[in-house]
Structure 1
Amino acid sequence: MTAFAIKQWLKPAYLVIRRWQVPPVSLIYRPLHWLLLSLRLAGAGIMRVLIWTPMFRSQVTGGEGLYLYDGLPQLLGPVKVTLGQDCRISGVSTICGRPGSVLELGDNIDIGWQNTIACGTRITLGNNVRLAGRVFLAGYPGHPIEARARAKGLPERPHQARAITLHQDVWVGTGAIILAGVTIGRGSIVAAGAVVSRDVPAGVVVAGNPARVVRNLEAADEA
C-alpha cells in the first residue's frame, strides 16, 4: 500500500476524530461554566486590588477611586501622569510620552480597551471625558518628516510634538484618531473612525477623515 493510499484511508478517520465532541450536558456544563467564570472574576478582582492598582498608582500622581480592569496599563517613556478621582482605565491600553511630557486626567474619566495615548508635550482630558475602544491620541508622530532622518532612525523633530486638549464632557468614539495640536470643545462628540486634525468647537458632532462638523448638539437639544 502506497503512502498516498494510506493517507486517503486515514483521512475519514481523522475527520471523525477531529469533529468529535463531548455531548453538552447542561446539568454538568452550565454549573461548570459559572464556576470557572466566578473563579476568573475573583482572580481578576484579587489581582486588581493587590497588584494592578497599587502598582499603577505608584507610577503616577493622584488616582483616588481608580478602577483598573483587564490588567495593568502599559506606561512607557518619561511621561508624567496625573489622575483625578474615580477614573476607569482598561488594562489593555498604553500611555507613552517624550521627555518632559505630561498627561493630565480630570475626574470621572473612562479610557477604553486598546487606547493609545502618546504625549508629545501635554495631553489634558477634562472631567467626564469618555474614550471608547482603540482611540489614538497622537501627540507626536514618532518619526521625522525627512526621509533621510527616518532612515537613520532619528526621532521626530521637537516642533512635531504638540499638545492635545479634550475639554469637559467630550466623548470620542471607537477607532478615532486625534492628532497633535488639536483642542476639542466642551461636550463635543467625535464619531467612530474619525481623524481629527483641526480644533473642534464646543457642542458639536464631528465625523469623517478629515473630521468635519456634521451636527450641532445645542440646536438639536433646542429642537
Structure 2
Amino acid sequence: MSLKTYLDGRPALKQIVHRMLIPKDQARPRLWVSWFVNPFIHKKHRSATIRSNVRMDVLPFNAFVLGAKSTIESFSVVNNGVGDVIIGEHCTVGIGSVVIGPVRIGSDVIIAQHVVMSGLNHVYEDINLPIHRQPVTTRPIVIEEECWIGANAVITAGVTVGKHSVVAGGSVVTRDVPPYSVVGGNPARILKQYDAKTGHWQKPTATPATL
C-alpha cells in the first residue's frame, strides 16, 4: 500500500500531514519540503534545468519527473497537488507557462510562452457553497511526442494531443487532437493533417471539424 493510499483512508491523519506540508489555504509547499523532501523523491535528470524563479508547487504524494535535457523556463508554475506531472526528455516549458497535473508530456515537445495546461477542474453545482469550498475533479492531459504548443494556448482537462501535432498560438483545445495534425482557434479546429498516402500535409476538404 502506498503512503498516499494509506493517508486517503485516514482523513484526520491526512489533514495533519497536509498542514505540515503546506500552509493553510495555500498551494506552495513549505520550504523544508522543497529543500529536504522533494529532491529525494522526485526525478529530475541531472542534465535538466529548472530556472530559479519557477514556482514549483510540488508535493511528495504525487510524481514529478523532468527528463534529460529538458528545461522549465522562468516564471512558470508547476503543480502536482492533485495529479502527477511527467515531462519527458528534450522538452521546453516556455516562459510563464502553467502546468497543473495530472499532465503527461512526451519527449521532444515544445511548449511556448504563457501556455496553460490544467488537468484540474472545480466543482460548482452546489449553489449553497462557494466554488473554492467544493471538491475538484481531475482528467489527465497527455501531450504525445514531438508536439509544438503555441504561445498563449490553453489545453483543457482530459485532452490528448497526438504525436507530432501543432497547436496554434492562442488556441483553446477542448477535445483530442489526432496525431500529425495542426489545430487552431477557439474552440480549436483541425486546420490540416498529414496524409501518409500522399506524403503531404492537406487541409480538410469540408468545413474544419471542431475538436
Q: Structure 1 residues 149 and 133, CA, compared in 2 at 3 Å: closer, same or farther? A: farther
Query: Which amino acid in structure 1 is aligned with residue 107 of structure 2?
Result: N
Q: Does 1:146 align with 2:147?
A: no
> 1:218, CA displacement in angstroms?
4.3
Corresponding position: 1:206 with 2:183: yes
With over 3 angstroms needed to count, the CA separation of the structure-2 counterparts of 1:153 and 1:89, relative to structure 1, is: closer
8 Å contact kept, 1:171–1:188 = yes
Unaligned runs of 5+ in 1: 1-53
Say yes or no: does 1:123 pair with 2:123.
Answer: no
In structure 1, the partner of 2:22 is none
CA shift in 2, pair 1:212/1:149, >3 Å: farther
Residues 194-213 of structure 1, C-alpha deviations (whole Å, 9 max, x = no match) = 00010000001000111110
Is the CA contact (8 Å cut-off) linking 2:100 and 2:117 kept in structure 1? yes
Alignment of 1:50-89 (within 5 A): 58=39, 60-69=42-51, 71-78=52-59, 79-89=62-72
Q: Structure 1: which amino acid aligns with 2:200?
A: E
SS state at 1:58 partner: helix
For residue 104 of structure 1, what is the aligned residue in structure 2? 86
What is residue 162 of structure 2 aligned with on the other side?
Answer: 185
Q: TM-score, normalised by structure 1?
A: 0.65
Whole-Å separation in 2 of the counterparts to 1:218 and 1:112: 30
Letter of the 1:85 partner, please give it: A
2-structure distance, mates of 1:111, 1:128 = 11
- Quote how far apart the aligned CAs of 1:84 are: 1.1
Instruction: Give the whole-Å Cα distance in 1 for the aligned partners of 2:135 and 2:92.
Output: 29
Instruction: Please tell me the residue identity of whatever aligns with 1:144.
Output: V
CA RMSD, Structure 1 to Structure 2 (Å):
2.5
CA-CA distance at 1:174 after TM superposition: 0.3
List structure 1 segments (4+ residues) > 6 angstroms apart after TM superposition.
none
Aligned partner letter, 1:212: R
* 153 and 123 in structure 1: CA distance in 2 versus 1, 3 angstrom threshold: closer
Deviation for aligned residue 1:74: 1.0
Per-residue Cα deviation, 1:60-116 (whole angstroms, up to 9, x for no partner): 3132211344x33211153421111010111310011334x2111111000000000
- Contact kept, 8 Å, 1:140 with 1:156, in 2: the verdict is no
Greater fraction helix: 1
User: What is the TM-score normalised by the length of structure 2?
Assistant: 0.69
Q: CA deviation at 1:153?
A: 3.1
**Cα deviation digits, residues 4-50 of structure 1 (max 9, x gap):** xxxxxxxxxxxxxxxxxxxxxxxxxxxxxxxxxxxxxxxxxxxxxxx
CA distance in 2, matches of 1:196, 1:172: 10
Change (3 A) 1:140 1:152: closer
The count of residues paired between Structure 1 and Structure 2 equals 163
TM-superposed deviation, 1:146? 1.7
Q: CA deviation at 1:156?
A: 3.4
Equivalent-residue separation in structure 1 for 2:44 and 2:96 (angstroms): 23
Higher gyration radius (CA): 1
- In structure 2, the CA distance between the partners of 1:187 and 1:151, relative to structure 1 (3 Å rule), is same
Letter in 2 for 1:170: C
Kept after mapping to 2: 8 A contact 1:80/1:103: yes
